[in-house]
A and B are shown apart, each in its own frame.
Chain A
Amino acid sequence: MAVAQSQSSGLARFWGGGIHPYGISHKKLGMWLFLASDSLTFAALIFGYAYLRNASHDWPRPFEFYPSIVVSTAMTFCLLTSSLTMVLAVHHSQHGDARKVVRWLVATMVGGLAFLILHANEWRELIQHGMTTRSNPWGDPMFGATFFTMTGLHMFHVLTGVLYLGYVALNHSRGKTEADSVEVCGLYWHFVDLVWMFIFPLVYLMSVSLGSATH
């Protein structure tokens, strides 16, 4: 027993964390592992999109400067700013200021909702132009399938994130959650922002309308 404890403490010194080698809560570790696996889901979709685009000779470039690029840039601004407000919420949660935590969580939700409204409106316009998952008026029919799948899954993550933020804000205002819960929620929200940093240039900026050029 004593030998086992001695070996255990030696191992603990080596890893610097004893029985908690990562020095974080199980909830936070669970969220990190989920995000690592979720990043592979999005990576697979992004590679799928790039695979089809590279193989295609008439990949559409339907996005005009206005409204598409202006609006998608505004959406990027909404997500980046909501990440900053999330950082502020986590910061105040660690200082025990519940009122400011709830205020910044609500500000983060507003950023997420603004993103969702702008994105839903863009979907509506593309559908009105005749874009479906099977066809579109501009070129390769796979464009619609890949676009709706990738941005749709991302929108679902944003929607889930807004609901998650609302749940944490409500519980925090009632004094039912700890700072750790706000931080874990923040990890999820920043990940949603991170994924958009790849979708925005790959799907939108690589497909800006430059006259009649395709590919």
Chain B
Amino acid sequence: MSEQASMKPMYIVWIWLLIITVVEVLLAYFHVPVTIMLISLMGMSIVKAAMIVAWFMHLKFERVTLVLTLVPATVMCIILLNIVWPDSFRLGLLGG
């Protein structure tokens, strides 16, 4: 495979990352409820992060054992951080 051909997916990923960033900036100026804005922006950020990890950090090309060691544990720990929300809403009801 030529040098240009082997790097082509990386250029495509870079262009997609830039396109998604522009979409995010445009979305910030739409007058939509904050919840929808948050879900949309974080959804796009997760897609961008996955692209960076998979292609730029080459995790897509590593053994499945490495992916299974790193990703589920990290994602699970981050999901568990959602435990803070009930207290956050409680503070909000008290008047911030």
> What is A's interface to B at a CB cutoff of 8 Å?
15-17, 21-24, 29, 32-33, 36, 39-40, 43-44, 47-48, 50-52, 54-58, 65, 69, 73, 76-77, 80-81, 83-84, 86-88, 91, 95, 140, 183, 186-187, 190-191, 193-194, 197-198, 200-202, 205-206, 208, 210, 215
Residues of A within 8 A of B70 (CB): 32-33, 36
Are A215 and B34 interface neighbours, CB within 8 A?
Answer: yes
List the B side residues contacting A65 at CB < 8 Å.
Answer: 29
> A57 touching B56 by the CB < 8 A rule?
no
If A73-B21, A80-B21, A202-B41 touch, whether A208 touches B34 (CB-CB below 8 Å) is no
Q: Select one of B25, B27, B38, B81 contacting A47, CB under 8 A.
A: B81
Q: How long is the Cα–Cα vector from A24 to B69 in the complex, in angstroms?
A: 13
A58-B96, A187-B57, A190-B52 known; A205+B62 contact, CB < 8 A? no
- Alpha-carbon separation in the docked complex, A73 to B17 (Å): 12
Complex contact A57–B92 (CB within 8 A): yes
Contact A47 B66 (CB under 8 A): no
Question: In the complex, are the beta carbons of A201 and B24 less than 8 A apart?
Answer: yes
**Bound Cα distance from A52 to B10, whole angstroms:** 38
Contact B63 A206 (CB under 8 A): no
The list of the 3 closest CB pairs from A to B, nearest first, reads: A55-B91, A205-B28, A201-B41
Could you say which of A32, A140, A198 contacts B45, with CB atoms under 8 Å apart?
A198
Contact A206 B65 (CB under 8 A): no
Min distance, Cβ A63 to any Cβ of chain B, angstroms: 9
Query: Would A87 and B56 count as touching, CB distance under 8 A?
Result: yes
Chain A residues in 8 Å Cβ range of B6:
91
Q: A44–B65 Cα gap in the complex (Å)? A: 26
Tell me what chain B mostly uses at the interface: helix, strand, loop, or mixed. Answer: helix
Shortest Cβ distance from B74 into A: residue: A36
Most buried by B among A48, A55, A65: A55
A86 vs B88: C-alpha distance when bound (angstroms): 40
Residue of B nearest to A201 (CB): B41
A-B contact pairs, 13 of them (CB 8 A): A29-B66, A36-B74, A43-B77, A47-B84, A54-B92, A84-B10, A140-B96, A191-B57, A202-B45, A205-B28, A206-B28, A206-B34, A206-B38
| Chain A residue with Cβ nearest B40 | A201
Q: Are A54 and B85 also in contact (CB < 8 A) when A21-B65, A91-B6, A206-B37 are?
A: yes
**CB of A127 to closest CB in B, whole Å:** 24
CA separation between A184 and B52, bound complex, in Å? 15
Partner of B96, one of A55, A86, A208: A55
Return chain B residues, CB-CB under 8 Å to A51: 84-85, 87-88
